[in-house]
Amino acid sequence: ENLETKKKLFRELEAVAPEHTIFTSNTSSIPITDIAVAAKRKDRFGGLHFFNPVPMMKLLEVIRIPATSDATFDKLLAFGKDMEKVTVSCKDTPGFIVNRLLVPYMLEAVRMVERGDASIQDVDTAMKLGAGYPMGPFELSDYVGLDTMKFILDGWSKNYPDNPLFKPSSLLDKMVAQGKLGRKSGEGFYPYKK
């Protein structure tokens, strides 16, 4: 999730890749258009957003930038179907479909706890039993990684400072600074055994 690294990589790839090559990036938060700036063949550029764990998760978001040709986009959709993924199409909007809805949802749960509206456990229980979600927002945040959430939020907040959905969270910032990143560090909103 480093824009400059991705741009450098695509400049290098484009210099040696055959003319028919389609360029794509898997990213959770960086606009595909910003990555494609490095490419000369923007008509052959698009985004593929896979979900973890990739072998188990069936969804693939296929992202089209304004310059993506119909032929390129059709090939990206076909590629996903050949991988036995269910593909959904999306324009190059922050977070595409899933993360654009999911990250603000998880952050609003954090804000509820920051305000003292409810406890972590009660929010998770309410969303599992009341909304039928398999995980509550805090369980999911720990699974995704609090550092990943912060990275996405920081990028969106920088690029869209007037959008209140992308406002930073002091609790999230504090937890990441303390190394409480979720499952991968052994502690996030919940403790985990390593």
From residue 109, give the alpha-carbon distance in Å to each of 20, 40, 66, 182.
Answer: 46, 42, 34, 15
Secondary structure (3-state) at 45: strand
Beta strand segments in 92-148, E? none
CA distance 84 to 67: 27
Active-site entry in 61, 84, 108, 187:
61
Q: Are 164 and 153 in contact (CB under 8 A)?
A: no
Nearest residue to 66 (alpha-carbon basis) of 88, 38, 40, 46 = 46
Is 4 known to be catalytic? no
Structure tokens at 144: 């995704």
Q: For residue 133, what are the contacts with CB-CB under 8 A and spacing of at least 6?
A: 127
Structure tokens at 188: 């996030």
Residue 31: which H helix or E strand, with range? none
Nearest residue to 50 (alpha-carbon basis) of 99, 94, 91 = 99
Active site residues: 61
